[in-house]
Amino acid sequence: MRLIFILFFLFSALLADDFITRMEYAKLLYSNPRGIGCNKCHGNDARGEVIANIKVKGEIKKFSAPSINNATRAVFFKALNNPKDIMPKYSLTDEEMESLYEYITKQL
Ligand code: HEC
């Protein structure tokens, strides 16, 4: 009896159109975009985060990544295609960037 249930679940998983939805995939990309996760610098909620506190001439300077959950499409794609500062360069496809943009600005 248990075997029938297991087979049923296997078949329904195989027959499903997409194994995971586009937003589930984008969520995975956000923390693992084939490189250091966006969340490591921009925070799990994409509202920006302090990356490091650096002591310069006895004064603590905060070094942070900006909030990106309200980024416009132009700013978002420019940052990914042409990153400044310490933001890494990723090799994401247009579709992956599009999914990430939607996930970050609509779901986070
Ligand atoms: C190592 C830290 C780090 C990682 C990892 C990182 N970023 Fe950034 N990101 C930054 C910093 C710092 C800036 C600010 C750079 C600048 O001066 O424009 C930035 C800027 C941006 C901006 C532009 C924001 C604005 O208002 O100008 C976007 C959009 C962005 N990042 C998205 C992402 C996405 C999406 C990922 C993952 C694929 C990612 N970042 C990964 C550090 C990081």
- Reported as a single tens digit per residue, the pLDDT across 76-105 is 999 999 999 889 999 999 999 999 999 999
Task: Please state, as a whole number, how many other Cβ atoms lie within 10 Å of the Cβ of residue 69.
Answer: 16
Q: Would you list the domain boundaries of the chain? A: 18-107
Cβ atoms of 105 and 48 within 8 Å: the answer is no
CATH class as words, domain 18-107:
mainly alpha
- Beta bridge mates, 63: 52
* pLDDT band per the 50, 70, 90 thresholds, residue 11: low
20 alpha-carbon distance from chain centroid = 16
Atom of ligand 1 nearest to the CA of 36: 5
Q: Is 65 in the pocket of ligand 1 (CB under 6 A)?
A: yes
Residue identified by tokens 């794609």 is 77
The number of residues making up the chain comes to 108
62 lines ligand 1 (CB under 6 A): no
State the pTM of this model.
Answer: 0.84
